Structure 1
Amino acid sequence: MKKIIQNFGTIVLIFLSSFLFSQNTNSSFEIKNSSFLLNGKPFTIYSGEMHYPRVPQEYWKHRLQMMKAMGLNTVATYVFWNYHEESPGKWNFSGEKDLKKFIKTAQEVGLYVIIRPGPYVCAEWEFGGYPWWLQKNKNLEIRTDNKAFLDECEKYITQLTKQIVPLQIDHGGPIIMVQAENEFGSYVEQRKEISLEQHRKYSYKIKDMLLKHGITVPLFTSDSSFYFVGGSIKGALPTANGENNVDVLKKSVDEYHGGKGPYMVAEYYPGWLDHWAEPFVKVSTEDVVKQSEIYIKNGVSFNYYMIHGGTNFAFTSGANYDKNSDIQPDLTSYDYDAPISEAGWATPKYNALRNIFQKLNNNQLPEVSKPVKVISIPEFKITKTASLFDVIEGKKSIVNNQPVTFEDLNIGSGYILYRRIFEKDEKGKLEIKGLRDYATIYINKDFVGELNRINKKYDLDIEIKKGDQLDILVENMGRINYGSEINHNLKGIISPVKINESEISRNWQMFPLPFDEFLKHNFKTKNIPENVPVIQEAEFILDETGDTFLDTRNFGKGIVFINGKNLGRYWKVGPQQTLFVPGVWLKKGKNVIQIFEQLNSNETVKTIDHPILDQLNK
């Protein structure tokens, strides 16, 4: 009985604190006397990063409650410009993209909010958050003091601030800080051909835009401490990403903040990002606990990046650039080895951290939310399959003397099929140095090879007869989101195709395949050769719904839609071998799965009750 009364008292306390938190229109948050002051009293930020586009909206509250139950008082989120401006001038802040709803849900749970709007965000997100069509303006250069670019930034900041200004803490909302630009110091370091003065002209203008459009809460910047020289902005608190040494943190902040704090690590990494064809990275629980305790002991505010990663649904994942592989595309899963798993489960890392915060909160933390129910769907057969070549038969193509890019064809993501009929025999080395990023090659619809920017494989031996049809299916695997190579982000085939060093020009046909929605086809039964790209479809019946994991270990490479939702990319090389299927996207009764498979035709589909994210098949 005593325990029941204690639990009831805890629930009432949490309810009252959340109610008062959400109703107080006289709240304030400021930086003063080397401290964060919440309503005039010193406040330490214990934050976790979660990006609302990576989590179905039905699960936002569950994940935020998980953070609150772990002992955090704040949630940080990036805002992705290209997520909300769906096409030039077309803005969407509704449904899954309802930023206001996410912020209000955090407030309802009892969390403060930090907004990280960029305009550049990195985040392992397609093009670092920039809309792909910015590249179509030849007078525009991103992340510089460039009028064309800054004009676009102001359009974005105008739309953004309409959403967040009314939800700042001094307006009765939960937003306590807003970031100006992001990790700009590392970019300054990589682009030394531009003077520091010129770089600062740009970053200061972003700060001024935020202020002009109504941001009144404190601004901050976020960089590694050794990049403060280029990334810090006067009037914004410098915070140090990944800085484990408290003495270095304090010295760096003091140097660029007038000799005083407060001190914050805006990104402390309890996990790490992951790429296709590379091992899954793990960070030990012991290391995360130890570093968290160091921050707490020294009064350092910090933000776990990520506390909950979620999923890069559809074509939202970005890529890194590496001179050894040219591109490192990010996984569909953004699990990040975070304390809260991709599916929203409490991990051993979560439980260990919660133990620390329990002590800080006198064992008054809420109960941990139960995980969403998980189901396994028994194996079922794929009933409809069609060759991609049959699907595009009779469709209108774009014709040009040279292959053109995704941007030239006015599509951002997906695939392009490049086709050419040869007027004479050709034999030798087919070379596509401008491949961006992955291609399968066919002669008369028969598979002859694969080219791959990841492995820097840009050529193969080929033999073509007069009248033969060459097809090159090119996939955009995500635009680079970090570093100076972000300025070189065109996709498709961006330079001439050559055979034996001779350009193959004239009469190229292009078929754009953006997969904004799945391709429609009547699926007439035909014999389909091996290793040709196919679209596939099947129905399955469910008596109950729940989260599950699509087992892709027997698949090749492609994307999956379920009930019209694009789950994202799979690839047999791993390390990811499952796709997370949110239960809220399933329904009782009939469900439809659709697959675009680039490498081999699949016969059956099944799911399992757990993810496989660390199985690399080199």
Structure 2
Amino acid sequence: MMNLSIFKSQIKVSVIACLLLFGLHFLSFAQQKHSFQIKDGAFLYDGKATQIHAGEMHFARIPKTYWRHRLQMLKAMGLNTVATYVFWNYHNTAPGVWDFKSESRNLPEFLRIAQEEGMFVILRPGPYACAEWEFGGYPWWLQQNPALEIRTYNKAFLDSCQVYIHQLASQVKNLQVSKGGPIIMVQAENEFGSYVAQRKDIPLELHKKYNLAIKQMLLDEGFDVPLFTSDGSWLFDGGSLEGVLPTANGEGDVVNLKNAVNKYHQNQGPYMVAEYYPGWLHHWGEPFPNVSSEEVVKQLETYLKNGVNFNIYMAHGGTNFGFTAGANYNEEHDIQPDLTTYDYDAPVSEAGWATPKYLAIRELMKKYVNYPIPEIPKPLPVVNLGKIQLTKSVDLLTLKNSLTPIKSDSVLSFEKLNQGFGYVLYSKKFTQPIQGKLTLNGLRDFAVVYVNGKKKGELSRMDKQYSLDIDIPFNGTLEILVENMGRINYGAEIVHNEKGLITSPKINDIPLKGNWAMYQFPFATMPTLKENSSLAKEARPAIYGGTFEVKQLGDVFLDMRTWGKGIVFVNGQNLGRYWKVGPQQTLYLPSAFLKKGKNEIVVFEQLNEKTQAEIPTLAEPILK
């Protein structure tokens, strides 16, 4: 009979040998290099003509634990490629601090999962992204350098871009298809043609030098897959680059597409719509946009019949968690803040559900593609948690007394206070009574005004409401709670993105100078409330807290219809902004942020028109 220890040793050696053999085989497979090139008017993968049927989704807007499910949803819709932006400010979390590893910031992991699911990847690293994302992806503190001007041929800015592109390349250049990874193309800048058209104050040659500089940085850092630009077809003159494929955003006319590409790309294709919109972006206080399934299918079929490559923007939108939502700007509204949801009326909903639009696209793709389309993944669980009780609260105007303010003769912007996001309470005491019209022309973006702790009104940059009548008594105190509602992410006004009060408030056109105290509430982390505190006061800003039990994990939606305006934390995760003006009335709480057993919730309510005791939960969102 064999000695038992020898027998175990032989088994152990055999197992190790098998694991080594398997590991070498897997390593060989993972490192298998391929080619992807643009040649003879076509995309060639290992020399074979290949059509790109892509869908856009942004890993930063999706909990990491859901990445695989969402990629599987795209593949089951009939797509073979995922396109994603990389947001510079999402990874450069503070000056000199880089994060490509923690949770949803783990870009290399997202790329590996995409490859495991059999998807090509189109990488869109900017440095400018837009995407209705805070500051278009730029770190807010770039504005701290007076010598720096973003998105132009400016040495300080280009030096910063070089640092970002170097950091990015160190994470992803070995995940290009040429190195055995899934990345087949990389975008240079983003929609630069539209910026050239909007910034005619900058000489065209400087625009061109900047655009070429970004292209060269990408090449110098080792990106060797094809580069492309992305613009409206009528804007190629400002945004296209020699030797780089121009692609058209929002172009539905195939003839226009081909004529534009031919003019700027060797009189031949391939032809690609880098952003086809099955829905649209949405702002607070505006109707939720809709694009019908019939319209989407009709346009996609036009592309398929004519051999046009496309990227559905968005195939799955996700969520602007925390303070990541950006804002737009136009003449009617000084700012148009974006919703917390980035549902986008996309085929895959915010919570990852297959919509009727999704099913219609899937049936269309079955008719045209020559690769297998898998079954639709099972929906992730949804739960209803009933009503979440809030058992403790604190009044913010009282809480400020425990903080040390920054004092100055004049008001300071968020940037001058070295604060990126959240809220600042500006406070000033008066030794003499004064009454008249308070004007905040430098408001960025939303303010609630108090005199001696009593609410006097709301002012909003969104509605161009910058003044109200005010009466401050002898020894009275004026307090102005100011909220940053997201930096502008698109257009010429992106260079004017300071927040807070950026000019002195005035009463009767007289600037209010001297004796300002500024209390900072960045809410970078979830506040901690004392047990059994019940200090919230009606019509004054308040922080509420509570705990709730979860027996079965699942996605859920917080019903905020009885609340005014604010943000919600669950287990330390900022779910984003809610606001009674709608259209969004719920906040998405994914099960990835929950845990079985005891969970914590904290709400900052700015308006607090009535004291609150609970938050109902729903199994479906209210977005319209």
TM band (smaller chain) = over 0.9
Unaligned runs of 5+ in 1: 1-18
- Counterpart position of 2:19: none
Equivalent runs, 1:144-223 vs 2, <5 Å: 144-223=152-231
Measure, in 2, the Cα distance between the counterparts of 1:204 and 1:63. 35
Q: Is the aligned partner of 1:605 residue 2:612?
A: no
Amino acid at match of 2:152: T
Q: What SS class does the counterpart of residue 86 from structure 1 fall into?
A: coil
The Cα offsets for residues 43-82 of structure 1, whole Å up to 9 and x where unpaired, read as 1100000000100000000000011111111000000000
User: Do 1:386 and 1:524's aligned partners in 2 also have CA atoms closer than 8 Å?
Assistant: no
The Cα offsets for residues 86-127 of structure 1, whole Å up to 9 and x where unpaired, read as 011100001220000000000000000000000000000000
Q: Which one of 443, 450, 475 corresponds to residue 435 of structure 1?
A: 443
Q: Which one of 113, 118, 128 corresponds to residue 120 of structure 1?
A: 128
- Counterpart position of 2:39: 32
Structure 1 residue runs of 4+, over 3 Å off?
A: 19-24, 361-364, 523-529
- Counterpart position of 1:368: 376
- Counterpart position of 1:573: 581
Q: What SS class does the counterpart of residue 454 from structure 1 fall into?
A: coil
Equivalent runs, 1:151-550 vs 2, <5 Å: 151-361=159-369, 364-522=372-530, 525=533, 528-550=536-558
User: Do 1:391 and 1:521's aligned partners in 2 also have CA atoms closer than 8 Å?
Assistant: no
- 1:451 deviates by 0.4
- Counterpart position of 2:3: none
Measure, in 1, the Cα distance between the counterparts of 2:410 and 2:530. 32
- 1:364 deviates by 3.5
Amino acid at match of 1:63: R
Q: What is the root-mean-square deviation of aligned Cα atoms in Å?
A: 1.3
Q: What SS class does the counterpart of residue 410 from structure 1 fall into?
A: coil
Q: What SS class does the counterpart of residue 460 from structure 1 fall into?
A: strand
Unaligned runs of 5+ in 2: 1-25
Q: Is the aligned partner of 1:60 residue 2:67?
A: yes
Q: Which one of 69, 84, 89 corresponds to residue 96 of structure 2?
A: 89
Measure, in 1, the Cα distance between the counterparts of 2:171 and 2:521. 33
User: Do 2:56 and 2:316's aligned partners in 1 also have CA atoms closer than 8 Å?
Assistant: yes
Amino acid at match of 1:477: M
Q: What SS class does the counterpart of residue 392 from structure 1 fall into?
A: helix
Moved more, 451-460 or 381-390: 381-390
Amino acid at match of 1:236: V
Q: What SS class does the counterpart of residue 393 from structure 1 fall into?
A: helix
Measure, in 2, the Cα distance between the counterparts of 1:546 and 1:353. 27
TM-score, normalization: structure 2? 0.94
The Cα offsets for residues 346-373 of structure 1, whole Å up to 9 and x where unpaired, read as 0000000000112234694211001110
TM-score, normalization: structure 1? 0.95
User: Do 1:557 and 1:569's aligned partners in 2 also have CA atoms closer than 8 Å?
Assistant: yes
Q: What SS class does the counterpart of residue 463 from structure 2 fall into?
A: coil
Q: Do the aligned partners of residues 303 and 22 (structure 1) sit closer, same or farther apart at CA in structure 2, a change above 3 Å counting? A: farther
Moved more, 484-493 or 594-603: 594-603
Q: Do the aligned partners of residues 27 and 102 (structure 1) sit closer, same or farther apart at CA in structure 2, a change above 3 Å counting? A: same
Q: Do the aligned partners of residues 225 and 408 (structure 1) sit closer, same or farther apart at CA in structure 2, a change above 3 Å counting? A: same
- Counterpart position of 1:13: none
Amino acid at match of 2:200: K
- 1:26 deviates by 2.9
Identity of aligned residues (%): 57
User: Do 2:31 and 2:179's aligned partners in 1 also have CA atoms closer than 8 Å?
Assistant: no
Q: Is the aligned partner of 1:587 residue 2:595?
A: yes
Amino acid at match of 2:309: S
Measure, in 2, the Cα distance between the counterparts of 1:524 and 1:377. 23
- 1:381 deviates by 2.4
Measure, in 1, the Cα distance between the counterparts of 2:372 and 2:91. 38
- 1:390 deviates by 2.1
Q: Do the aligned partners of residues 70 and 24 (structure 1) sit closer, same or farther apart at CA in structure 2, a change above 3 Å counting? A: farther
User: Do 1:271 and 1:306's aligned partners in 2 also have CA atoms closer than 8 Å?
Assistant: yes
Moved more, 439-448 or 220-229: 439-448
